[in-house]
Amino acid sequence: MGAGQSHDQLMPEERRLRQDPEKIARIVQYLSARQGTQKCLVNTEEEFSQHEQDKQSMKILKGIYKRLDPTIMKSTLDVNGEVQLSFKYDFNRDLLLVKVIRCRELRNRDVRSKASDPYIRLAVIPDSRGQGAKTTQIVVETNEPVFNEIFAFTKTELELLDSKLIVQVWDYDVSNRDDFLGEVIIDMTTFNFKEEPVHTAWYTLKMETDLSITGEMDISMAFQAPDNLYVTVHGATNLSPRDDSTLAEPFVKVSVPGVGMVCKSEVQKNTLNPVWEETFHFQVPCEELLFRYVVFHVIDESQQEGNESLGQVVIDLHLLDPQQGYHGTHKLADLKNSERIRNKWSQSATAQEFRESFQAHASVRHPNFLFQQQSGKKVISVSCRKARSHAKIRIVDGIAVN
């Protein structure tokens, strides 16, 4: 109604409303209730939207932790695919001929592309002749590359008996460090070129093995019926240092997988030849000695740089004579690709820290940028120095797409 509008100028319906105060009160009540309902609906929609955002944020957070978690990064779950190789030995010219044929089902590691740009690097160890590594051509944008390239390494028959071929698959990155896609180490003693001149096979790719690990462990075991296993770690010799100028501060973790107990020795300071002389007790029934085994993991402790593996030893308990006991020296090696070590890895302290850290981040909704409304395309790069792992994850409008 305008400012100068008289009562007589009111519409008949408005006039009737003016004459019925109760009806006006009911309409006001209805409008107020409707406004409250609309406000409630808006709040519900906002809460629903926030709930969906939180769900996506949790998926992104889980994706980040999955890529960083050592139980994933240190297992073959992070490596996929196979490489097909063919071997031939030229006895007249002392040449090992290796044909790199193809790969299949490689895992794409670059979040910016749908496929890898793979190439293969080959090296024979020991390399006393200084032949170095040999590299194939890069095959662009495929997880099923075909190479069909032949490489030659000079090796006498005697040298071949002590040789291993390292085959590594890499994903070329023009703007960053190339991504490791897996490797296989082939012992040349497995071939008999005189009986079978050409060997062709598919090899499953695995995580990279640290071949620089050296040293030996002196170990003894004793058994007392019905279920008392005593494991003594005497010492180790010639451990591999982090670098030429730093000695190690080694300790040993001892476990019998399936028993549910992990023992730890004292840390020996500044030495590559530690002496522990420590005995650990495990409860293992006599009938289980046939299939149980002991895992020894030597670790270099460092508060500044993080702990570093110095190698493992695995001893099958069927070697133990319950009456005579056992005493032996074993070479340390990087055994993380073995099924036994991968099964054991999930019990590590670092993995437990990751689980606890994930719960803490989820409960306090941190980092903040993950729990905000996302728009556009983003690539998040994260790293964990302690786990020695890094990861990238791509987000499109708040949804992780990789």
Express as a percent the part of the chain with pLDDT over 90.
Answer: 50
Sequence-ordered alpha helix ranges (H) in 69-173: 70-73, 157-160
**What is the per-residue pLDDT for 94?**
96
- The upper half-sphere exposure of residue 7, i.e. CA atoms within 13 Å in the direction of its Cβ, equals 5
- Which of the two residues, 173 and 191, has the higher pLDDT score? 191
- The upper half-sphere exposure of residue 208, i.e. CA atoms within 13 Å in the direction of its Cβ, equals 12
Domain hosting residue 291, numbered range = 216-335
Ranking 41-45, 53-57, 236-240 by mean pLDDT, the lowest is: 41-45
Highest mean pLDDT among 57-61, 63-67, 197-201: 197-201
Highest mean pLDDT among 13-22, 121-130, 239-248: 121-130
Highest mean pLDDT among 109-123, 170-184, 353-367: 170-184
pLDDT in tens, 186-203: 999 999 999 999 999 999
Mean pLDDT of 105-118: 80
Please provide the average confidence, as pLDDT, over all residues in the chain: 81
Q: Say if 192 falls within a structural domain.
A: yes
Q: Does one domain contain both 329 and 223?
A: yes
CATH code for the domain of 116 = 2.60.40.150
When pLDDT is cut at 50, 70 and 90, the band that residue 211 belongs to is confident
User: Looking at the 3D structure of the chain, how many domains does it have?
Assistant: 3
| Burial of residue 81, with CB atoms counted within 10 A of its CB: 0-12 exposed, 13-18 middle, 19 or more buried | buried
Q: Does one domain contain both 243 and 330?
A: yes
User: Who contacts 46 (Cβ-Cβ below 8 Å, separation ≥6)?
Assistant: none
Q: Say if 210 falls within a structural domain.
A: no
Nearest to 155 by CA among 110, 202, 182, 188: 188
- Under 8 Å between Cβ of 89 and 190: no
- Which of the two residues, 267 and 401, has the higher pLDDT score? 267
The Cβ of residue 94 has, within 10 Å, a number of other Cβ atoms equal to 15
**What is the per-residue pLDDT for 257?**
86
**pTM summary value:** 0.58
Q: Say if 17 falls within a structural domain.
A: no
Q: Is the pLDDT of residue 140 over 80?
A: yes
